Structure 1
């Protein structure tokens, strides 16, 4: 398997670390969907091939991660000498490369022998201190091999209330980051799917101002009471239907606070005609597997989830993430949003609807970092005095046309990112001297993303175009703002799978109630004049490559 550029860079950086910082343990930081299992599989093949007799242990805490690691290793290296040690999978095998459950190996660590390297998947689960299961396992292995190398892999190398999992203090198992692949770069290079965020109505956002903090996050019991309000839930699912479902999004995950909350959300969606089952830690395994298989096949429009889909679950078709779970955990926020980063045919981006003010709390996912103690003293956002839109502190011009007075800024010497003059850690790379920035929930979920803009529509035209690659026809609708500015929607009517389903949903949104779905673009073209509702304005994502039409305002027609 040929590695991507950044994947090879990660392996090279790891060997450079070992050469320069022998005896210290590094972390490799790779966003969800970047292929960390491919990286450590290629690394394992190189180490075992170049250094015969090398014994490697891969540690994970969930059976899904263990199964994924074995499958990917055998894909990269079909002859890999691999065994699996996991009671949850009914396997008890030892081999030169052993992929083990943390909980299974903890009870028999004295019997597993010698290892040269330990790879820890989802290394942010290692709490500081010597008494955790991970640390006990590694300490026992180090007694047999004092030169044991430990490598951590994580998309989010920090813990709520404890900061980074690496550092120079005795409590830290890891001493630093050997390599980090940044989300924005991987999106720009086409390896990850873009994410976008839309503003939701104020009445759909939970008020957490009175909820206490317990162990660094919102108190679970109080938070459940706040979010379980029926009016709040109905407002949120109505926003989801308006902003996601009516625009053709057919694979949504609703991240909920508790099992009760998830069932309330599921019931509210059911009353609207949507089948969205609940998946939680109490869901029987057979039932959970069936639900996830149906979702992966496109047979379910959504899942209401509690705590089990943030790690070890991949469904590339996921195109909408509803954050119904307010959190103070940056790691949880990034894990939830990270579920939507995988590519899928016909998926232009993944929409994030933030009902918990997470974007406002942490900022864009590509530059969000754990807050330091001085965070509250540093400027984060500013509000346009003309239209009341909230922007990042360094925004120079509001989409309404108002220009801000240019704020004093300084550039990070490490990554070049501009920062507020009084900040302490860099917004982008956390290099010392500035703190990171944030954007409000009606701003972008990627740094530098312009806010969506509304354009009045003077006229609408329709035509049939043909794909340059397949030659297949599709319906193109153009919304003309003026003589030189127009925005398009392409409807793949009659196409199989996701593209056809989305086109049908778009047609239902654009046409009068009861208008049948055209079977092919030419049929749609003949009906456009009679079936399509008059359009007043469109909201356009100016950050997307094709200037995606996000929302359409229709003229009210008297019946």
Structure 2
């Protein structure tokens, strides 16, 4: 790090940010937890890039060590070593936590003996500087992920006084510290007294609905009173209080007689007790119908479907016997027994409750309840609302056999080989902890489950296999043994995906391919119910060489948009739902990356599946806006499939809509392919206005743009006209004109400075189908435009294609095809960089310096005397660059055509030089230079680019 860069950063941070150049990478910065970043993400990034470290938090909790363990495992492979300084102050640190610290492979842990050691500091040594984080955050989940913390990040060089003082103080702490070993832990455990947390005494409160339940109850009431609904469905993740929600609604409804139906006898008595707590009344008002009991005359009847749905038993009840019937786990209503039940009874109101309405079979649960969804809270929503226990997901590589990892074709002998068992247990021992109450292991085959249970038990991990061949009583006994601590693991295939609650479970181990997001959520949800002293859940996923690996980031982040860029970004996330962490080892991350890159996410089959899924939910044909609003698919995906010309074409292929005239189809494809993305809302606002009135003057259009906070000048007005006249697209697209895809007849014409639809468009708008699609595209595009700053051409860190850039720079023609890596046009030169941090066959090597510059190359052959190089370097009489350089970067080619906009770049004149590059075996001359970022890159983008360093890119590219 150059002294001048540090001086500038310090002066900007401490003296005057306008006079001096700020640099978040070096300058003092306040670090806290907020919606976009957390303290932990900063610390993790420092760890992954440092040469050594000292973590000095007085207090550490075991559950926060999980994310640290996988980070340190990566550092260990690079030979990076560090120190942890902590304490036994106030007894906050438990003996179990100290035991976990001993597992860390590349860390010396010391217990500071200085009385009252209460430090909260984190220190990292890099190649040319040191960085310190000092403030309020201990190493706990709340402090590093959620609490309102204040930490100062500051950098210095070795000779700096601050660095010397820190070094001296840390050395003093270490001199007065004991090295952590088993002897210390044994002695500490003998005398350990857990601190007593004083909490104010609270008076027993009357049961009342929580926030989620209150909202659901209001919507149920609205459905019944205003919409006269006879049926409704509640979709709520396991552990979010569905039972009490049902009881509260029954209390509000006050039925004369009520029936509760479920398919499991085990929960009848517990459910009855919960309802009685809410509804009150004598015990004789409540009856059980199932398990040998037939109490059918009570006011409130709690029945199993197995008992009630027998024809001879149903015959004992009148059709209107109950005015309110609640069906729990309503996703089973497709079964014949439930169909008999629903055909027999005619209550005033049916309520279905389920966590998983989407079935792997074809039954339409939504239709069974008239598509009336009263309330929906997903697993992701419940985690974000902290209704469930947070989790730590660790994706590790499954065992390799002779260089080949477990795949769909693995044999039983491979799945149960002693080496694989050893590998699994080694990972469980490292990431798990001695206080674990028990875990569920999901594998792929029944014989595998049995063999693994036997092998686990032989290695000191008492385990039992459960399959669908085991009776319900056998399963119940197994669960009781797990809860009692007699078993460590229950190993199963799929039978515990639903219908079982074991709140004490704090480990979920996945030894199978991720087949679907539904199953992933079901299995993850088995461990998320809250339980006393249960702080978090360890989710250990053994990732093999599976084609479906692309589903993992999608499932973890609840991302239903089949978009490769989004999935790649999801893969980089390390914190989700406020308190949950996600980490992968390098090999498993690479496997997922490759699965995303090789999977055709926009395949017609997947689009059809999403269409059918949303159609079931809505009970009608979904529109683009529905896909957006329901977070089902990115509405732009329908134009990405090369065999489809947009969503209308999909509906036409599915024979859902009638055929439109060819020209009408072309107009819809143009709107969807070019304007739906919302990256510039000007055209959408104009089209929306023209739908409301026949014409719009330029003056009115300018006023409309100002009202919507849109930038407006003569250039953008001319560009809008070129786009809507379709002249912008009169360029080659392969062997044909791109304009041929949309037709040559303009959508909007301008006459006497007044905009109006082309007569052909006006005629098409008389067709209801065309108009519906037209309005839907505009509505969806305006919704998507909310992600972009309308007051400027480009929004920092949003993604753009070359074609988007041509349009937003107001160029009269789309020259994206020959644009390649850059092009100087008048006073602007957009630059597109695919990040290549490693030396490649073509010789280009990007380097990001101090997070404020990136090394960039012109095309070859080029020299300092080349015309375009001279244009790039040209300055006016005041020394200002004559050419603007909007800079766009993408981490890898896997990001397809979209680049992140990182602002206007400037050239460091001292860095400009000619270089000889080896390309295709020949030396070619190019000019290299450093481009200075408008702002230092944000933490998340640094992480994405850093991840790109681990992905091989040995193929040549023509972007430069």
- Structure 1 length as normaliser, TM-score? 0.58
Match of 1:138 in 2: 342
Q: Which residue of 432, 457, 480 corresponds with 1:293?
A: 480
Give distance in 1, aligned partners of 2:325 and 2:413: 43
Contact 2:286 2:301 in 1 (8 A): yes
**Alpha-carbon shift at residue 264 of structure 1 (Å):** 0.9
Give distance in 1, aligned partners of 2:630 and 2:553: 18
**Which SS does the other structure have where 2:440 is aligned?**
strand
Distance 1:192-1:139 versus aligned 2 partners, 3 A rule: same
Distance 1:233-1:392 versus aligned 2 partners, 3 A rule: closer
**Alpha-carbon shift at residue 117 of structure 1 (Å):** 2.1
Q: Which residue of 208, 232, 237 corresponds with 1:31?
A: 237
Asked whether 1:91 is paired with 2:281, we answer no
How far does the alpha carbon of each residue in 1:70-108 deviate from its partner, in whole angstroms, 9 at most, with x for none? 23213333426221111xx22111122212111211112
**Alpha-carbon shift at residue 37 of structure 1 (Å):** 0.7
Distance 1:139-1:8 versus aligned 2 partners, 3 A rule: same
Q: Which residue of 351, 358, 363 corresponds with 1:151?
A: 351
How far does the alpha carbon of each residue in 1:440-499 deviate from its partner, in whole angstroms, 9 at most, with x for none? xxxxxxxxxxxxxxxxxxxxxxxxxxxxxxxxxxxxxxxxxxxxxxxxxxxxxxxxxxxx
Q: Name stretches of at least 5 consecutive residues in structure 1 with no aligned partner.
A: 211-222, 396-409, 426-430, 435-541, 544-559
Match of 1:445 in 2: none
Distance 1:266-1:35 versus aligned 2 partners, 3 A rule: same
- Structure 2 length as normaliser, TM-score? 0.35
Match of 1:361 in 2: 551
Q: Which residue of 365, 370, 386 corresponds with 1:165?
A: 365
Asked whether 1:74 is paired with 2:276, we answer yes
**Which SS does the other structure have where 1:199 is aligned?**
strand
Asked whether 1:194 is paired with 2:401, we answer no
Give distance in 2, aligned partners of 1:238 and 1:138: 48
Match of 2:637 in 1: 422
Q: Which residue of 293, 299, 310 corresponds with 2:497?
A: 310
Match of 1:176 in 2: 372
Distance 1:300-1:202 versus aligned 2 partners, 3 A rule: closer
**Which SS does the other structure have where 1:6 is aligned?**
helix
Q: Name stretches of at least 5 consecutive residues in structure 2 with no aligned partner.
A: 1-206, 573-585, 597-624, 640-646, 648-778, 784-938, 941-960
Distance 1:348-1:277 versus aligned 2 partners, 3 A rule: same
**Aligned pairs, how many?**
381
Q: Which residue of 326, 332, 355 corresponds with 1:119?
A: 326
Give distance in 2, aligned partners of 1:265 and 1:235: 11
Match of 1:102 in 2: 305
Give distance in 1, aligned partners of 2:422 and 2:371: 46
How far does the alpha carbon of each residue in 1:393-441 deviate from its partner, in whole angstroms, 9 at most, with x for none? 9x9xxxxxxxxxxxxxx9986489995843799xxxxx9999xxxxxxx
Contact 1:119 1:150 in 2 (8 A): yes
Contact 2:443 2:492 in 1 (8 A): yes
How far does the alpha carbon of each residue in 1:96-145 deviate from its partner, in whole angstroms, 9 at most, with x for none? 22121112111121212222222111111222xxx722122111113xx5
Match of 2:214 in 1: 8
Give distance in 1, aligned partners of 2:495 and 2:444: 12
Distance 1:255-1:103 versus aligned 2 partners, 3 A rule: same
After the TM superposition, which segments of 4 or more aligned residues of structure 1 sit over 6 Å from their partners?
356-359, 376-379, 410-413, 415-418, 431-434
Match of 1:275 in 2: 462
Give distance in 1, aligned partners of 2:554 and 2:239: 18
Give distance in 2, aligned partners of 1:286 and 1:137: 26
Give distance in 1, aligned partners of 2:259 and 2:327: 8
Contact 1:411 1:419 in 2 (8 A): no
How far does the alpha carbon of each residue in 1:188-228 deviate from its partner, in whole angstroms, 9 at most, with x for none? 443211122111113277412x5xxxxxxxxxxxx995985
**Alpha-carbon shift at residue 23 of structure 1 (Å):** 3.8
**Which SS does the other structure have where 1:40 is aligned?**
helix
- Give the superposed CA RMSD: 4.1
Asked whether 1:328 is paired with 2:515, we answer yes
Give distance in 1, aligned partners of 2:302 and 2:555: 31
Distance 1:232-1:62 versus aligned 2 partners, 3 A rule: farther
Give distance in 2, aligned partners of 1:432 and 1:133: 42
**Alpha-carbon shift at residue 158 of structure 1 (Å):** 0.7
Give distance in 1, aligned partners of 2:451 and 2:331: 31
Aligned counterparts, 1:377-526, within 5 A: 380-381=567-568, 389=589, 414=629, 421-422=636-637
Give distance in 2, aligned partners of 1:241 and 1:93: 48
**Alpha-carbon shift at residue 254 of structure 1 (Å):** 1.0
**Which SS does the other structure have where 1:323 is aligned?**
strand
Match of 2:622 in 1: none
Q: Which has the higher contact order (CA 8 A, sep 6+)?
A: 1
**Which SS does the other structure have where 2:396 is aligned?**
coil
**Which SS does the other structure have where 1:3 is aligned?**
coil
**Which SS does the other structure have where 2:239 is aligned?**
coil
**Which SS does the other structure have where 2:228 is aligned?**
coil
Contact 2:219 2:374 in 1 (8 A): yes
Contact 1:250 1:302 in 2 (8 A): no
Contact 1:194 1:349 in 2 (8 A): yes
Give distance in 1, aligned partners of 2:435 and 2:275: 36
**Alpha-carbon shift at residue 8 of structure 1 (Å):** 1.6
Contact 2:258 2:322 in 1 (8 A): yes
Match of 1:249 in 2: 436
Give distance in 2, aligned partners of 1:19 and 1:273: 60
Distance 1:69-1:233 versus aligned 2 partners, 3 A rule: farther
Match of 1:58 in 2: 260
**Which SS does the other structure have where 2:524 is aligned?**
helix
**Alpha-carbon shift at residue 252 of structure 1 (Å):** 1.0
**Which SS does the other structure have where 1:342 is aligned?**
coil
Distance 1:140-1:321 versus aligned 2 partners, 3 A rule: same
Give distance in 1, aligned partners of 2:432 and 2:553: 26
How far does the alpha carbon of each residue in 1:261-297 deviate from its partner, in whole angstroms, 9 at most, with x for none? 2211111212321111233444465554443223223
**Which SS does the other structure have where 2:540 is aligned?**
strand
Contact 1:330 1:369 in 2 (8 A): no
Give distance in 1, aligned partners of 2:358 and 2:244: 23
Higher helix share: 2
Distance 1:264-1:91 versus aligned 2 partners, 3 A rule: same
Contact 1:84 1:93 in 2 (8 A): yes
Give distance in 2, aligned partners of 1:322 and 1:422: 34
**Which SS does the other structure have where 2:221 is aligned?**
helix
Contact 2:550 2:593 in 1 (8 A): no
Distance 1:233-1:71 versus aligned 2 partners, 3 A rule: farther
**Which SS does the other structure have where 2:345 is aligned?**
helix
**Which SS does the other structure have where 1:43 is aligned?**
helix
Give distance in 1, aligned partners of 2:365 and 2:359: 7
Asked whether 1:207 is paired with 2:407, we answer yes
Contact 2:329 2:352 in 1 (8 A): yes
Distance 1:69-1:370 versus aligned 2 partners, 3 A rule: farther
Give distance in 2, aligned partners of 1:125 and 1:353: 30
Contact 2:389 2:535 in 1 (8 A): yes
Distance 1:234-1:413 versus aligned 2 partners, 3 A rule: closer
